Amino acid sequence: MSLKARFQNAGSLFKQLPGTFRLFWQASPRGAVVLGALTLVAALLPAAIAWVGKLIVDSVVAAAQGSVEARSRVYGLVGLEFGLMLGSAVVDRGLTLTRELLRANLGNLLNERILQKALALELQHFEDSATYDKMQNARREANSRPLSLVTQAFSIVRNTITLGTFAALLVALSPWSVVVLVAASVPAFIAEARLAMAGFRLYSWRAPEGRKLNYLEWILTRDSHVKEVKLFGLGPLVLGRYRTLFQKFFAEDRALAFRRMAWGLGLGVLSLGAFYGCYLLVAGRAASGTITVGDMVLYLSVFRQGQAAFQGILTSVGSMYEDALFMSNLFAYLDIPTGGEATRVLPPLSPPRGHDSAIELRDVSFRYPGKEAWALKNVSLTLKPGQKLALVGENGAGKSTLVKLLLRLYEPVDGDIFYGGVNLKDMDVEDLRSRFGAVFQDFVRYQFNVAENIGLGHVPALEDRTRIEKAAEEGGASGVITALPQQYDTMLGGWFEKGQELSAGQWQKLAVARAFMRDDAEVLILDEPTASIDAEAEHALFERFQALAADRIAIVISHRFSTVRMADQIAVLHNGQVDELGSHDELMAKDGRYAHLFRLQARGYRD
């Protein structure tokens, strides 16, 4: 991005205000009204207090000169000022309380929107790093940034009103001093706004490097990384990179802080000079009796507080840049279009359930969004009801991609997939997915108890212990479970207290059992389900699998040929294309890629 574009980008960030205020209003209309009303009162009080202060001084001077009436007025006025100060303290507390309550409301509303959006996103969004970053950033600061933006905006309004009332008081006293003081403040305002913008640009420029810093920190503090960090001695290297980045950040921050200091000092001297010039004028007029001593005191207090209000506005402008950057990221995330899973026809078509349905891929090609290379190219395959298909091929051949297309986690770029004669695009995705049972290569280790780890495969049966035990039996997990201290009630994983850690193979057995929870599934998909399971367990699993999946379609991805050979049909994928297709015997007879790979592995076992 060019400098100019960045500048415009930063300027346009203030466009986030209306959207933020809308959210704020939705979070709590009553809170918004209370905050607005309290802000208005808080904005008007300082001028009233300063004015009463002036009246007190004038009355004291008059009383000292012998006026009895003035003496009694002094008491009344001091009482009034006390009342106003009390009011001011109450309003300030009220503002803090309202903000605290709004923080909870607004944070909650936003977190829920962020999570709802996450549910609506498709797999491609999660696999796209830019979108993923947006979501993580949105989550990280949802509790603080929006409220801060609103608070700063209110604070600018409050300080501007206060300044306006002060100016009105001063105009009556000396119109020229108002002009001089405003003129002396303008350079400070411009300089601060520019420096805040520079700070903001620095912040947004280095956002990617900031993420790198977080990542380095993450490597050194995660349980999942500690073995490699220790074995490869990565500590000094990672820490060194962390330090270098940090020092770069620090150098930039320091330079900006010095610039801020120099400008602040220079312009501060200018406005101080203007102030004392006007002070001289006002003091001279008070000495000559043109204005009262109370007027002079009013001038002093209004000006000092006016400076604080002005400084408050500058600070708010600075932090609003950062808050608005966050909001633009949040709105961009919430606006990601997610219509990809909608059906083409209404009502969606649905092949009869509980019926064996054939699956057909017709000339399917696919490449990942933003990628040049084809992950699948002109793939045609037919799976008859009850058939077992094994997908084999080297890493990156396209096996998992094919499964993603079947589950409509992605759409083919060319060609079509049919389920029971219906184009997948015309089916409701939830209907489609509910017909599949699957164990993915990167299955999830839920940090819940054993029963839940299995029951999650079919949420309506989460409490059905008999069905869970049956699934555990079918998935080959019951042996593992019996050995656990509280069997099905054992908490798993290392995240929470009393969690029991399992071996990779034991976790995998639970994942298989989870897939078996869907006993009405019409298709079973096992994406390398045996990678961590020992040979004996694998054999047992497949025998059970053959029996259980007898009348269903099953798709198995495996690198173990002892497993693969059991399938009715084997598809050898190579560079996204079906290189060979047939039964084990047919492919062995063909003596091509499959036969070569099979013999290679068999020799490995024999040696």
Binding site for ligand ATP (CB under 6 A): 127, 368, 371, 375, 393, 395-401, 441
| Residue among 259 and 574 whose Cβ is closer to ligand ATP | 574
| Residue among 399 and 518 whose Cβ is closer to ligand ATP | 399
Residue type, 368: Y
| Residue among 69 and 442 whose Cβ is closer to ligand ATP | 442
**Residue 379: its H or E element:** strand 376-383
DSSP 34: H
* Entry field: residues in the chain: 607
Question: Minimum distance from CB of 364 to ligand ATP (Å)?
Answer: 13
Q: Which candidate, 512, 502, 573, places its Cα nearest to that of 538? A: 512
Going along 492-576, which residue ranges are E strands?
523-527, 553-557, 569-574
Alpha-carbon span 552 to 307, nearest angstrom: 79
Question: Minimum distance from CB of 572 to ligand ATP (Å)?
Answer: 11
| Residue among 292 and 530 whose Cβ is closer to ligand ATP | 530
| Residue among 124 and 447 whose Cβ is closer to ligand ATP | 124
Question: Minimum distance from CB of 134 to ligand ATP (Å)?
Answer: 17
CA 357 from centroid of its chain's CA atoms? 40
Question: Minimum distance from CB of 440 to ligand ATP (Å)?
Answer: 10
Alpha-carbon span 570 to 551, nearest angstrom: 18
Question: Minimum distance from CB of 420 to ligand ATP (Å)?
Answer: 25
Q: Tokens in use for 179?
A: 């002009």
Residues 206, 210, 211, 216: is their CA dihedral positive or negative? positive
Q: Which candidate, 472, 480, 441, places its Cα nearest to that of 456? A: 472
Whether residue 197 contacts residue 325, with contact meaning beta carbons closer than 8 Å, is answered with no
| Residue among 203 and 368 whose Cβ is closer to ligand ATP | 368
| Residue among 19 and 340 whose Cβ is closer to ligand ATP | 340
Whether residue 34 contacts residue 98, with contact meaning beta carbons closer than 8 Å, is answered with yes
The SS3 of residue 533 is: coil
| Residue among 371 and 498 whose Cβ is closer to ligand ATP | 371
| Residue among 126 and 218 whose Cβ is closer to ligand ATP | 126
Whether residue 121 contacts residue 138, with contact meaning beta carbons closer than 8 Å, is answered with no
Q: Tokens in use for 44?
A: 């008007």
Question: Minimum distance from CB of 569 to ligand ATP (Å)?
Answer: 17
Alpha-carbon span 288 to 423, nearest angstrom: 96
Question: Minimum distance from CB of 468 to ligand ATP (Å)?
Answer: 29
Question: Minimum distance from CB of 124 to ligand ATP (Å)?
Answer: 8
Whether residue 50 contacts residue 302, with contact meaning beta carbons closer than 8 Å, is answered with yes
Residue spans of alpha helices (H) in 174-234: 175-205, 207-221, 226-231
Question: Minimum distance from CB of 401 to ligand ATP (Å)?
Answer: 3
| Residue among 267 and 397 whose Cβ is closer to ligand ATP | 397
| Residue among 318 and 576 whose Cβ is closer to ligand ATP | 576
The residues pairing with 449 across neighbouring beta strands, listed in sequence order, are 491
Whether residue 536 contacts residue 487, with contact meaning beta carbons closer than 8 Å, is answered with no
Q: Tokens in use for 194?
A: 């520019």
The residues pairing with 577 across neighbouring beta strands, listed in sequence order, are 574
Q: Which candidate, 1, 22, 9, places its Cα nearest to that of 334? A: 22
Q: Tokens in use for 118?
A: 């996450």
Q: Tokens in use for 563?
A: 């497993």
Q: Tokens in use for 370?
A: 């933003």
Q: Tokens in use for 362?
A: 């017709």
Question: Minimum distance from CB of 343 to ligand ATP (Å)?
Answer: 24
Question: Minimum distance from CB of 378 to ligand ATP (Å)?
Answer: 15
Question: Minimum distance from CB of 336 to ligand ATP (Å)?
Answer: 17
| Residue among 375 and 510 whose Cβ is closer to ligand ATP | 375
Alpha-carbon span 333 to 19, nearest angstrom: 13
| Residue among 144 and 365 whose Cβ is closer to ligand ATP | 365
Question: Minimum distance from CB of 135 to ligand ATP (Å)?
Answer: 16
**Residue 224: its H or E element:** none
